[in-house]
């Protein structure tokens, strides 16, 4: 489908010749010559947004004043929060978020027909790629059969979802599906889909070049910024609106410059660098801002490392972490098999439009910070937040402090060394280092006796996630650690569940070409699948005897993974402490199987002659790694693996589906159900109403993540979601996960606020999705919400700082809406979740001068918020809290409806309702 641009004005539209190509483009230097402002000092990331304004300027949605605002941004030192309408070129999805998005589109087809419109009006106007990567679960591991057995189980569990997605691929235009077993969406995007500079026909039939931009229904869409492609995560509802032609309403962002100097030292990895970057930027505070990396140190940062840093932008809180185009960008495009003419165009376009990083590049930034990469040390992060950076030399000590805090009822931070000093030393077969009163242990029976588990036993060690498996330097490094360990006779401990889940098939190609896969297999890191696996919570069950030992003895089990997220309750229900580490360290920790061991100074084990083997003895040099990368990571392997990327294997090709304009919703399906959002919808929107006499559903603390609000992992038959499935004759073995059932609102409503580690401060020390019902008795959050709905009582949720951090999952907002919550009141919000709440018609509010603690909230209060009928973006509004004893307190809240269009979304009941009514009204006008 041709792209539509706002105009073809001679003022900014120019012609660019590259080789034999001649294309039109929108010139930033020409905009300066036309007197629209001075733009040369803008960061490259912001120039991409500016080009978007030039291309879509139509005097209505985008005006010349919007363009001039970018010049004013530079004049004002990197600040000018003007509302703009931004149109990304494409949309990226994964199946956990993609299935509910396609469900919504299918429901919108039903809805628009009810409003008198045409079902074909519901079609993506922008290209959409959905990569199935979140569904494979590690049931089988540590043997050559693991990959095929996990694939077979994946299809058994998810055939209903895959049938539905195949229907969507047939029914919708501009919608492609990358089948299971190909790779992780962000890695496929980096290695194949992303182009850095895109070309397409405009409405006049002319070829136009423009920066490749996207939004994705996964927060780690930011990985593509390593390739100078501007992209970030949004909720599914916002992505659906973008697909259907609705511009993304945003404020011109602040841009933080992160200057990199020096080079990494021997023994450190890209993972060590990114964990340090995450810590620094979280301390800086970059929520809602762009981060752009610059400095001469970039000459020493391979693109794979840049992608690792870009990937974890959600963990440091930024909208994106952008790297400008330079010679390294071109080198990577060449390596990964991109077309030669495209690579030449990228260079010519970036240089012509001021987006090329020259030596000494240092534009205007809102603020800056700097890191000398030679200061980076080997590190991990944990036990429950990515920003909790721990130097590897302090890891064991920090873990012991965490255990003592857990046993004493304290929340001891990751950097708590000095709070408690253990005895240290190598753990004996039975005794735990440190204070015996703070550690617990149990014994697992085996055929030849038993082995001990205790606080700190590592039961999951997983090379997983796009964050690191996209990087051949750390993957080859992990293989070399395995090779050297194998040569010395070391092996994983028997209680460690080991797994290798690469982000693309190319990884397997170079691990096999280097003969390192054999070494990884030998110590248990067999291929288990191509997908997110452990990082998304699909770690699969532990051995029953290990799970029983952990739970019977209340042990603090540990996971070590090469992922990006380690939030509570995410990785496994049997694991309470989760650590992020580089793939080589994941292998090393599997060898010791114990977080109490100081792997920096203590032996990992003994070789065949009984000599101690230390980490330094099996750690590869940077030259060893670089030489193997040079030999085995080839352009040809990328071209071969991506030649038939949309074809899939025989299993995918055998999936049968219907060919129909609207979806025939199967009434008995427990995976895909028609959601209630658009049923019985009126043709006209309503108004925002003040909230009167709302009851409190939950009072939550700081850093409540979207994993807490809408978990993705497994659940038990005793939960509301489990009971729902059991009532429909689904056995627990077939429950799959919350993430896989996001196409069924009945399951997801019951899973909202149901994370096993969430703590509602209305209750004393109770974990899980519980609250007080209308009768004052403890019950599940779902049951309480339904009881309040029967009474017609609105609900509110209170929260602390960084409310909604983490994944972009729209179900954290959808579930909140369906439970009857009208407002969420917190100290502050993470960007995506705030947007998602607005997109579902739930109003976010921030405290002014108060918080949940200073107000002394218990949960028996009633809350009224006045003046919402005439509320303006970011207004201060009056709130009355009536306490259980009848006393009242008046406070002020800041309404976090941030823009005028967001207010319209809430008036319509959500952004999709707004789009649906808009499309239906266009049909009506055309009919007249």
Mean pLDDT of all residues in 309-330:
96
61 inside domain: no
CA distance 302 to 402: 35
> Does 719 lie in the same domain as 799?
no
Residue 462 inside a domain? The answer is yes
Cα separation of 303 and 323, whole Å? 9
Start-to-end CA span in the chain (Å): 27
**Same domain membership, residue 303 and residue 201:** yes
User: Which pLDDT value is given to residue 747?
Assistant: 97
Residue 214, beta-bridge partner list:
90, 231
Q: Say how many C-beta atoms besides its own lie within 10 A of residue 415's C-beta.
A: 15
- CA 440 to the chain's CA centroid: 34
pTM of the model: 0.86
pLDDT value of position 84: 94
859 and 737 fall within a common domain: no
Q: Are residues 106 and 176 in the same domain?
A: yes
Q: CATH number of the domain that 877 lies in?
A: 3.20.19.10
Q: Are 808 and 707 in contact (CB under 8 A)?
A: no
Q: Give the whole-angstrom CA distance, residue 378 versus residue 395.
A: 10
Confirm whether 734 is domain-assigned. Answer: yes
Q: Write out the H or E segment, with its range, that includes residue 24.
A: strand 21-26
Looking at the fold, whether 360 and 412 belong to one and the same domain comes out as no
CA distance 440 to 489: 30
Report how far apart, in Å, the C-alpha atoms of 272 and of each of 341, 571, 615, 791 are.
36, 21, 16, 53
3-state SS class at 402 = helix
Given a cut of 70, whether residue 172 has pLDDT beyond it is: yes
Q: What is the pLDDT, as a whole number, of residue 423?
A: 31
Nearest to 591 by CA among 603, 581, 579: 603
Q: pLDDT higher for 536 or 826?
A: 826
289 located within any domain? yes
Mean pLDDT, to the nearest integer, of 74-89? 94
Residue 8 pLDDT: 54
Please report whether residue 855 resides in a domain: yes
Write out the DSSP string of 25-48.
EE-HHHHHHTTS---TTS-HHHHH
- Residue 166 sits at φ, ψ, to 5 deg, of -65, -35
Query: For residue 178, what pLDDT is reported?
Result: 93
Would you say residue 509 has pLDDT above 60? yes
Over range 739-759, report the average pLDDT.
94
CA dist 237 and 235 (Å) reads 5
Decide: 87 and 6 in contact? Cβ < 8 Å. Answer: no
In a domain, 454, yes or no: yes
Instruction: Inform me whether the pLDDT recorded for 132 exceeds 70.
Output: yes
CB contact at 8 A, 58 and 64: no
Compute the average pLDDT of residues 805-830.
Answer: 93
The Cα–Cα gap between 796 and 690 comes to: 13
Q: Whole-angstrom Cα distance, residue 745 to residue 743?
A: 6
Beta bridge partners of 825: 798, 845
Q: How much is the pLDDT for 425?
A: 34
For the chain, how many structural domains are there in total? 4
Q: Give me the pLDDT at residue 414, please.
A: 40
Interatomic CA distance for residues 837 and 842, integer angstroms: 5
Instruction: Compute the C-alpha angle 596/500/235, nearest 5°.
Output: 95
Task: Give the pLDDT of residue 925.
Answer: 52
Give the whole-angstrom CA distance, residue 840 versus residue 361. 42
Q: Give the pLDDT of residue 124.
A: 92
- Flag whether 179 is in a domain: yes
- Which segment of 60-74, 84-98, 184-198, 401-415 scores lowest on mean pLDDT? 401-415
Q: What CATH number is attached to the domain comprising 174?
A: 3.30.499.10
When comparing pLDDT for 202 and 861, which is higher? 861
850 is in which domain, residue-wise?
691-704+759-908
Q: What is the distance between the alpha carbons of residues 928 and 916, in angstroms, rounded to a whole number?
A: 19
**Residues 764, 746 share a domain:** no
d(CA 506, CA 640): 9
668 in a structural domain: no
Q: Are residues 747 and 819 in the same domain?
A: no
pLDDT digits (tens, 9 = 90+) for 412-438: 544 433 222 223 333 333 344 444 556
* pLDDT single digits (tens) 464-491: 988 888 899 999 999 999 999 999 999 9
Whether residue 147 sits in one domain with residue 227: yes
> Contact at 8 Å (CB) between 474 and 269?
yes
pLDDT digits (tens, 9 = 90+) for 626-650: 999 999 999 999 999 999 999 988 9
CB 89 within 8 A of CB 129: no
Distance CA 78, CA 619 (A): 44
| Alpha-carbon torsion (896, 898, 900, 901), positive or negative | negative
Region 271-299: what's the mean pLDDT? 95
In the block, tokens 């593509």 appear at 224
From 615, 636, 657, give the residue that closes a domain.
Answer: 636
Is there a single domain that holds both residue 450 and residue 467? yes
Spatial separation of the C-alpha atoms in residues 42 and 364, rounded to whole Å: 6
Q: Are residues 872 and 745 in the same domain?
A: no
Angle at 478 between CA 475 and CA 479, to 5 degrees: 90
pLDDT of residue 427: 33
User: Which pLDDT belongs to residue 771?
Assistant: 98
Percentage of the chain modeled with pLDDT above 70: 95
CB atoms within 10 A of CB 808: 29
- Do 733 and 782 lie in one domain? The reply is no
pLDDT at 304 over 80: yes
Task: Return the sign of the alpha-carbon dihedral for residues 741, 752, 124, 226.
Answer: negative
Tell me the mean pLDDT in the region 543-554. 93
- State the burial class of residue 89 (Cβ atoms within 10 Å of its Cβ: 0-12, 13-18, 19+): buried
Q: Average the pLDDT over 356-367 and give the result.
A: 96
C-alpha closest to that of 330 among 309, 345, 313, 310:
345
463 membership: H or E segment, kind and range: strand 458-463
162/240 same-domain check? yes
């Amino acid at each position: 489908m041709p792209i539509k641009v706002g105009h073809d004005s001679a003022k900014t539209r120019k012609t660019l010749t590259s080789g034999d190509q001649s294309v039109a483009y929108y010139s930033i230097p020409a905009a300066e010559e036309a007197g629209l402002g001075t733009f040369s000092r803008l960061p490259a990331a912001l120039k991409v947004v500016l080009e978007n304004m030039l291309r879509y300027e139509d005097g209505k949605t985008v005006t010349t004043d919007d363009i001039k605002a970018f010049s004013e941004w530079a004049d004002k030192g990197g600040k000018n929060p003007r509302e703009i309408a931004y149109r990304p070129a494409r949309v990226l999805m994964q199946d956990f978020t993609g299935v509910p998005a396609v469900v919504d589109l299918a429901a919108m087809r039903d809805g628009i027909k009810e409003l008198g419109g045409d079902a074909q009006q519901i079609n993506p106007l922008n290209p959409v790629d959905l990569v199935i990567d979140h569904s494979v679960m590690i049931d089988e591991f540590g043997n050559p059969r693991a990959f095929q057995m996990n694939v077979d189980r994946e299809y058994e569990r998810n055939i209903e979802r895959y049938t539905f997605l195949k229907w969507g691929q047939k029914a919708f235009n501009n919608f492609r599906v990358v089948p299971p077993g190909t790779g992780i969406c962000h890695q496929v995007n980096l290695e194949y889909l992303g182009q850095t500079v895109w070309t397409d026909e405009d409405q006049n039939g002319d070829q136009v070049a423009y920066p490749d931009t996207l939004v994705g229904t996964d927060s780690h869409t930011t990985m593509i910024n390593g390739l100078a492609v501007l992209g970030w995560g949004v909720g599914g509802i916002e992505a659906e609106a973008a697909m259907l032609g609705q511009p993304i309403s945003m404020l011109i962002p602040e841009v933080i410059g992160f200057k990199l100097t020096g080079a990494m030292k021997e023994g450190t990895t890209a993972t060590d660098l990114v964990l340090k970057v995450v810590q620094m930027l979280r301390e800086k505070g970059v929520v809602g801002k762009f981060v752009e990396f610059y400095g001469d140190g970039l000459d020493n940062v391979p693109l794979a490392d840049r992608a690792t840093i870009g990937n974890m932008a959600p963990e440091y809180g930024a909208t994106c972490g952008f790297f400008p185009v330079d010679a390294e960008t071109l080198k990577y495009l060449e390596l990964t098999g991109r077309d030669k003419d495209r690579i030449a165009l990228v260079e010519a376009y970036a240089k012509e439009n001021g987006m090329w990083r020259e030596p000494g590049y240092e534009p205007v930034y809102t603020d800056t910070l700097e890191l000398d990469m030679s200061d980076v040390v080997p590190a991990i992060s944990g036990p429950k937040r990515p920003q909790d950076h721990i130097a590897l030399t302090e890891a064991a000590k920090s873990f012991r402090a965490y255990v003592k805090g857990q046993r004493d009822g304290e929340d001891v931070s990751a950097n708590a060394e000095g709070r408690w000093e253990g005895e240290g030393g190598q753990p004996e077969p039975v005794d735990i280092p440190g204070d015996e009163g703070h550690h617990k242990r149990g014994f697992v029976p085996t055929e030849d006796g038993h082995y001990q588990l205790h606080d700190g036993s590592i039961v999951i060690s997983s090379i997983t996630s796009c964050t690191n498996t996209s990087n051949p330097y750390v993957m080859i490094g992990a293989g070399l650690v395995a090779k050297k360990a194998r040569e010395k006779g070391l092996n994983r401990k028997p209680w460690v569940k080991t797994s290798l889940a690469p982000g693309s098939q190319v990884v397997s190609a170079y691990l096999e070409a280097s003969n390192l896969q054999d070494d990884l297999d030998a110590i248990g890191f067999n291929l288990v699948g191509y997908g997110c696996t452990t990082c998304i919570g699909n770690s699969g069950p532990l051995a029953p005897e290990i799970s029983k030992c952990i739970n019977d003895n209340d042990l603090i089990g540990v996971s070590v993974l090469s992922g990006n997220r380690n939030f509570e309750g995410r990785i496994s229900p049997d694991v309470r402490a989760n650590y992020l580490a580089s793939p080589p360290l994941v292998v090393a920790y599997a060898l010791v199987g114990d977080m109490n061991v100081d792997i920096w100074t203590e032996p990992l084990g003994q070789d065949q002659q009984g000599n101690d083997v230390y980490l330094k003895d099996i750690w590869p040099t940077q030259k060893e790694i670089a030489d193997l990368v040079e030999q085995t990571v080839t352009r040809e392997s990328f071209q071969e693996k991506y030649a038939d990327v949309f074809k899939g294997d025989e299993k995918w090709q055998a999936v049968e589906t219907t060919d129909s304009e609207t979806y025939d919703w199967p009434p008995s399906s427990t995976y895909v159900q028609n959601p209630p959002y658009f049923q019985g919808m009126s043709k006209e929107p309503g108004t925002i109403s003040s909230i009167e006499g709302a009851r409190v559903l939950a009072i939550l603390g700081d850093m409540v993540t979207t994993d807490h609000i809408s978990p993705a992992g497994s659940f038990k038959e005793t939960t509301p979601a489990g009971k729902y499935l059991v009532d429909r004759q689904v056995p627990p073995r077939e429950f799959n996960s919350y993430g896989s059932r996001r196409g069924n609102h009945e399951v997801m409503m019951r899973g909202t606020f149901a994370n096993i580690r969430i703590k509602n401060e209305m209750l004393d020390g109770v974990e899980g999705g519980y609250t007080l019902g209308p009768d004052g008795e403890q019950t599940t959050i779902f049951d309480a919400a339904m009881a309040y709905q029967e009474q017609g009582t609105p609900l509110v949720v209170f929260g602390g700082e960084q409310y909604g951090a983490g994944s972009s999952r729209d179900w954290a907002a959808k579930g909140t809406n369906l439970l009857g919550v009208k407002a969420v009141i917190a100290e502050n919000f993470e960007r995506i979740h705030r947007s998602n709440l607005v997109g579902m018609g739930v109003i976010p509010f921030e405290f002014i001068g108060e918080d949940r603690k200073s107000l002394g909230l218990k949960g028996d209060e009633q809350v009224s918020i006045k003046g919402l009928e005439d509320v303006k973006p970011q207004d201060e509004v009056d709130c009355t809290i009536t306490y259980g004893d009848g006393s009242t307190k008046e406070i002020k809240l800041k309404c976090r409806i941030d823009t005028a269009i967001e207010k319209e979304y809430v008036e319509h009941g959500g952004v999709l309702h707004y789009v649906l009514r808009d499309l239906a009204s266009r049909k009506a006008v055309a009919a007249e």
